[in-house]
Every structure is written in C-alpha cells, then in structure tokens.
Structure 1
C-alpha cells in the first residue's frame, strides 16, 4: 500500500507541474498590451514573415488573429496556438509542444519505469504468497480472495504500463525523425511535408543523431519554413546530373 500511495502521489505531482507549464504558446499582439481593439490584430502583420510574402494563408489563425509559425497549430481545448504542436494530452491536461515536449518525454520514461517496477513488486508479492488451498480451490481463486488489493492494483498498473510503453515508443520514434504527432496525423494537409513530386517528405529530418542531439540538448529545434524547389527545377537538375 505504501508503494501504491507513493506512485499515485508522484504521478499526480508531475501532472500538476505539467498542467501549469507553457507548452510554447504563440504570442499574440494583445498579450503584449499594444492593442486594445481585437479587430485590429489582423492589421499588425509582420512584414518579415515569409508566409505574408508567399501568400501561405494556411498559417493564418482566424481565432487568435495572428500568422502563426510553421509547424504550429491552434488547440481548441487550450484556445491558443502552440509552436511545434504535438497533441493535447488529457493525462497532463495541457498541450505538448515546443517548450515542454522534452519534459513530457522524460515524464513518460519515468511513468514507464515506475509502472514496470510497481508491476514487478506486485507480481513478486503474489508469487511468493504461500497459499493454504482448500478442497477444489485454485491458486488464482486464493490470490483473488486473499489479496484483492494487490490484484486490482496489478491490473490497473498493467493498463498504465501498456499505455506508457506505447506513448514512450511512439514519442521516441518521432523524436528520432523530428516530426510531431499532429504532423503524422495531418501530413496530407501540410504543404511543407510534401516534396515537389507530391510525396511525403520531411524537410526537418536531419538524421536521427542530429535530431536526438538537438532535442535532448535544446529541447526543441528552431524550425524555419522551408520551400521545396519546383518540380521542373528538380527534373532539370537530374537531367544535368546525367
């Protein structure tokens, strides 16, 4: 019971700390106190933004009334645009984005380890129990009757362990490829994830070694909008190479 109480308290404390952390909210002009009229926010367009000059209006957020950076997305739950938006996690009741994804991954690793160790302790407790079996009573029935708390905890912990394993594995794979959950789910909608031939291509994948190094050292990558060369230019280059 002491182990169960400690695990619940630790996870609850971690979730509370994540709940209050900025995941990478895109600053709005109104947040800086420079504008009083919300309708004027659209007029304050950064002329240095590449999206303004190329006409990439898909980066315009009609809710926040800003031109958001590439790889960002508006979260309907938080009602804010988040840089390098990954997903909104109900587990921590917050978005996972540019400024908290590394912490979220560490949290997942600790959740996996704590769930694994807790399950191991529970299994060891059940396995070492010395049953006094009555006639026609099975060992499983004895354990369920004599140790219902341990059995219930083990079942719940196995569910948590499975979820933590899936999340940790998927996040590790995405970190190695420098891509987000949102980008994988909506790749067909994002032009910057398609090469000149129309096929999926991630311009931010610099190889798993650099991707992982940037992620664990800095916590995020400073991504800029990358324009693919026209298909005709690629074809000409290939022809000249021949």
Structure 2
C-alpha cells in the first residue's frame, strides 16, 4: 500500500529535508518514526528537498507499507510522535504508481521579507532587509520571468542539472504590514533558484541594480547575480498535483 502524506514544518532547527548522517533533518525524523512502527527501515520519497532553514507550509512525501490503517489513524499516530516543528496535515491512500516528486505538476514558494527595525520574533522566520524598497521597480524586474526561460543565471553554481529551462506561471510581490512577500509558482525550480531571484528583485527594489531581466536571462551567466537571499525567508507553500 502506498501512503501519501502532506506535512508542514518549521525549518529553523533542521539541516534541510534530506537525510544527513549526524544532522537533524525532516526526512531523518520521519523515517525514524516509521522504523519504530514497522520494525524495519522505511524510505520516504519527497516532492522537494528543502535546504537548511527553509520552511514548508505544504510538503508531500510517500512511502510503501504493509500496515493497513485508515488515513485518520495514520495521521493520529504520526502526529503523536512528531516534534513540535513538524505537523502532519493530511494522509491519503495513494495509487500504487503515485510518486510525490514526479507526479507534481508545479510548486508555489513564498519569500518573506521585512524592512522595519529588527524583530527578534521573526528570527528564522523572515529575512530582515532594512532598506526602502520601490515596489514598482520590483514588479518591473519580476514581470519578464513569466514564461519559459533558461534560468542558468539564476541557479546555483552547484546545480548539476544540464537542462536549466523552467516555466514560471506567476510571480508577484505582496505588500505586508512591515515588508513584502514574493510569491512564485512554476512547473519546477533549480537549486537555490527562488532565493537568487529574491536577491535580484530586492537589489532592483533598493535601487542598487537596474531591472534588466531579459538581458540577465539571455546572458546565462551565474556570476552576474552573485548573491543568494537567506534561507530563513523561504517557504514551500504548495505542491500541485492533477490528482492524488
């Protein structure tokens, strides 16, 4: 039986989602509990592998099990064993060929920035960017990203994937009480891509970089956008599936 699980987590005290020996990770925490239940190792497969400090409002993973339980029972048992920074939102009995990663049709990320005085209650939850930002300049920088492009300029130098073409469906900036949220939806994202996009848009909004997005994309040169925005402001907000 294949079980699909929708979870949220606060990534502040995790070294990312993916299992790492001797480090606290979301995957390691979940697999530890599943091993207790099954008396054997159970591998989980996630829709995304978030970095250290990155949060998730909605993340999916699946696993195979011989244990026949109703979804509500799975949810209750798993939640009872989870630490305070992981929440099981929903459990579904999925089709045998369902895959959390490969069946995802898109993802939405939110990047949270506040520009007011430093607030200790935002530590690890929002990025502090204490500069005046021009929303019109940020919108000017963001608009050309909509569509299908080669995002080499906006991907980490560590990215090993050769095909860096991705499709962005929406990219918007939302003004909040003390800053801005950037919300982006696409069919897929390269390593660090959202955080690099955020760093670029923030520099444009601050006025230290002129919005020149189409030429930046065409350059296919990672060195012209050297900064990556901090992890703490990034949230995996939603994973999209045609059916689950």
TM range (shorter): under 0.3
Larger Rg: 1
**Greater helix share, 1 or 2?**
1
Q: Give the TM-score taking structure 1 as reference length.
A: 0.24
Q: Which has the higher strand share?
A: 2
